[in-house]
Amino acid sequence: MIAGTGSAGSAPNMLYYPKGIFVDSTSAMYIADTYNHRIQYWSNGACYGGTVAGTGTLGTSLSQLYYPVAVIVDVNQYMYITDQFNERILRWLVGSCVGQCIAACASTAPGQAANQFYYVVRVVFDSAGSLGLFHFRIFLAQTTGITQIVTSPITSTPSIISTTFSAQ
């Protein structure tokens, strides 16, 4: 067992429906502990993890998560968290008590408007350092931040809607 005990729970050595895992250059893991509404950090070889994002209680504030499903970490120690039921992406500095909403910040309801997500499921960096976000109908990517591209249906040609975040 690399992380957790094999049983669901909220203690530091337990996880409850973990989904996304990011492994850094030291082999430490950042785990989206979905049903505990937190991101857990596990050092390589550790017997327990520590909470680095979220409070363990679901909520909509910038210190809370609501079913986080994915996390990635950049070279500057910023976590990018897919906060699925809040329908947003948070940028959260490791060690901080709160995150910053960087995409779909206006609403916690799923939707298809330019400022909404429809059940966001994944966040990734490509080889050029662009941040990409995937959800059921929208893909977002740009080398200097995030540009929203809408496809409906998914097989149609995407069109650029708006820039929603600039990382520079």
Residue 95, domain member (yes or no): yes
Model pLDDT for residues 29-62, shown as the tens digit of each residue: 999 999 999 999 999 999 999 999 999 999 999 9
Model pLDDT for residues 86-101, shown as the tens digit of each residue: 888 899 999 999 999 9
- Is residue 91 within 8 Å of residue 102, measured between CB atoms? yes
Domain of 95?
18-166
What CATH number is attached to the domain comprising 157? 2.120.10.30
pLDDT given at position 159: 29
- Is residue 140 within 8 Å of residue 127, measured between CB atoms? no
Residue 64, domain member (yes or no): yes
Q: How far is the C-alpha of 82 from the C-alpha of 72, rounded, in Å?
A: 9
Residue 7, domain member (yes or no): no
Domain count, the chain: 1
Residue 12, domain member (yes or no): no
Percent of the chain with pLDDT over 70: 64
Helix or strand holding residue 42 (H, E): strand 38-42
